[in-house]
Structure 1
C-alpha cells in the first residue's frame, strides 16, 4: 500500500511525511515542485529509506501526475501543495492562481481518471485536500469561532485561491463522486517552518540582533496549531472521515500576534539569553500594517473531536517551547534557508 503526498517538502507536508513514516510502514511517494519554500533538507532524515520516493514536479503537470498514479497505484492522495504566504499573494498573486486553483484542478482531473479505472480499490480510495481557516474571512472580537458551516469570505488573493480550490474539490465529489475529504486548519507552527512566517522570523531575528517586526498594533488574533497535532488530525480524517465532509482543525489557542512575540522573547530570554542581559522584547519594532490584514481568525474544532475523537495533544505553551528549542538546536538548517533571495524578501517587506 502507498499514499501520494503533494507539497511534501514544505513545512506541513514534510512534517506529515516524517510523522507518517515514523508511525507506519506504508510507503509514501512525495511530489514537490521545490519552489522557494520547498526544501529537500526537510526530508533529509529519509535518505536511504526505501519506504519513501521523492519526485520533483508540479501538481499542474497532468502527465507527470497521471504517470505517478499509474506507476505507484496509491490508495490515497493527500494534497498539501499550495502557495501559502499572504504577503507574497498581495505582491504577486498569479503564482497563487496557478498553483492553488489551476494546479488543484489538474490534480483533481488526474485523480478522477485514475479513480475511475480502479476496481477493487475504488471504494477505499481517498483524496484529502488540506486548506486553511482564511477562506472564512475575518472575525470581530466577540464573534463565535469559525465552524464548517461558516460561509466563505476570503479577503486576500491567497485565501481566495484556496477558497476556489476548496470549491473545486467539493464539486468533484458532487459531480464525479470522487471520494474527497477537506480539512481547514488554523495557523500552524513548529519545526521546518520557513522563516518568513511570524514565529520562525521572530526567533531568527532575535538571535541575529535584528528588529522584531510586528504589523500594525500587533492585536491581530490567530488560533495557533502545533504542526504535529495538525498532522495527527489529517491522519485521523484520512482514516475515518466521512466522504465529502469538511473538518476544521484548530489548536484552541487564540493569541494576539504581540502576545506570541512576547512569549517567544520570554522563552529566548531563558533558553538563549542576550549577552548584555537585556530582554529580547527590546528588539520589538512596529511596522506599517499590510493591506487588508484580517483582524481575527478562530477555529471551532468541535466536529472533529465529536465525530472522529481528535483533539490536539499540545497546548500553546508546550508547543511553542518545543518549537523554540528545535530552532535553537537546528541553526544550520536556519542558516541554509536565510540567505540570498530570502534576505531580499525580508528586506523588502519588513523595512
Structure 2
C-alpha cells in the first residue's frame, strides 16, 4: 500500500507514522507537513530513512498534488491549541477547514482509496453527564473545535455528494512522547522539572478523558482500515480526570511539592467535561492497551530523559 499522513511531523502524527511503519512494514509511507512551530523534523529523525517526507501546506493545491495517488490518506494536519484559536481564529479556519477542503478535492480528483479525517471529542461541546455518541449533535465551543466540526461537515458532504470513501475519528485528549509544550500535560511536566509554578485554569475541576497517544494511533489505524465508509468513530481512553488530578499526579510522580500549584483566571468558553462512548470502536475489536498511571509515568520519564528534544522549546512553556 501507499499511505499518506499529513501533519506527520506533529505530536500525534509522528507517533502514527511509527505505528504504521510497524503495522505495514512493506508499505510506502509518505508524510506531508508544513513544519510549523509544532511540526518538527526532530520528531521523525529516527524514521526518516524509511519514509518519503514532503514539506508542504495542505492549503496549497500544488503542495498537495505532490502526494499523488494513494490507498489511504490520514489527515492529522491541523491547528489544535484552544488558547491559540481564541487569540487568532483565522489561522484555524484556514488550516483546519480550507486545508481539509484542499485535501478532499485532491482525493476527489485522484485515486485515493480512503480519506481518514482526524477530529476531536471537542466537536460535541461540554457534556454534563453521560457520554457523547457519534450521532450526537455537534456543539463546538471554541474556534478550534468549530473549525474541526466544519472540516467534518465537509468530509461528510464529499462522502454524500461525490461518493468519496471516508472515515472520521474523534479522539479524546492525547498525551505521550513528542507533544509540543503548550498542552496541559507536557507544560506541567516541564514546569515541574524546572521547579516553576503550575498554573491551573479556574478551580481545576474541568474534566477530560485521557488516552495515551499510541493507543489512539492504533485506534485511528483500526478505524481507518476496518471502519464502515461514511462513519465516525469515537476513540477514548476511559480515563476521566479533572485537571487538578492530572497536575497532582504529575507532581507526585516527579516528587515535587503541591505548593507549586497556582490557580489562574479561567479561559473564555472553557468546556467543563468531555466524555466519549466508544462502543463502535469496541465492535471493531479495539481497546486501549495502557492503564492511565502506567502511561503518565512513561510520559513523565520520556520528558525527563529527553532534554535535548525539549530544551529548544523551553522559552515557549508558559
TM-score, reference length from structure 2 = 0.98
Shift in Å, 1:176: 0.2
Match of 2:272 among 292, 295, 303: 295
Residues 66 and 114, structure 1, Cα contact 8 Å, conserved in 2: no
The correspondence of residues 277-292 of structure 1 with structure 2, limited to 5 A, is 279-292=256-269
Pairwise CA RMSD: 1.1
Residue of structure 1 aligned with 2:248, choices 250, 262, 267: 262
By how many angstroms is 1:34 displaced? 0.8
Partner of 2:237: 251
Number of aligned residue pairs? 317
Q: Which runs of 5+ in 1 are unaligned?
A: 116-121, 270-278, 347-351
Query: Which string of whole-angstrom CA distances, capped at 9 and with x for unpartnered residues, describes residues 45-68 of structure 1?
Result: 013x2x301111111111221232
Counterpart-to-counterpart distance in 1, 2:67 and 2:297:
39
Q: Which has the larger radius of gyration?
A: 1
Deviation at 1:218, TM superposition (A): 0.1
Contact 1:224 1:252 (C-alpha < 8 Å) held by counterparts: yes
Aligned to 1:32: 33
Deviations 1:193-215 (A, max 9, x none): 11111000001001111110100
Aligned mate of 2:175, from 170, 186, 189: 189
2:89 to 75, 79, 93: 93
Match for residue 8 of structure 1? 8
CA contact (8 A) 1:66 1:111 kept: no
Between 15-24 and 252-261, the greater mean CA deviation after superposition: 15-24
Decide which of 89, 104, 116 is 1:108's aligned counterpart.
104
Helix, strand or coil: the match of 2:254?
helix
Alpha-carbon distance in 2 for matches of 1:302, 1:127: 22
Specify the SS of the correspondent of 2:262: strand
TM-superposition CA deviations, 1:60-105 (whole Å, max 9, x none): 1112212321xxx321100000000000000011100100011111
Q: Which residue of 2 aligns with 1:212?
A: 198
Matched, 1:305 2:282: yes
SS of 2:116's equivalent? strand
Distance (whole Å) between structure 1 residues aligned to residue 17 and residue 307 of structure 2: 22
- The corresponding residue for 2:62 is 63
CA distance in 2, matches of 1:91, 1:172: 30
Q: 1:234 aligns with which of 220, 225, 237?
A: 220
Q: How much does 1:298 deviate?
A: 0.6
Q: Gaps spanning 5+ residues in structure 2: where?
A: none
Structure 1 ranges of 4+ moved more than 4 A = none
CA distance in 2, matches of 1:257, 1:2: 40
Cα deviations across residues 175-224 of structure 1 (Å, max 9, x unaligned)?
Answer: 00000000000000000011111000001001111110100000000000
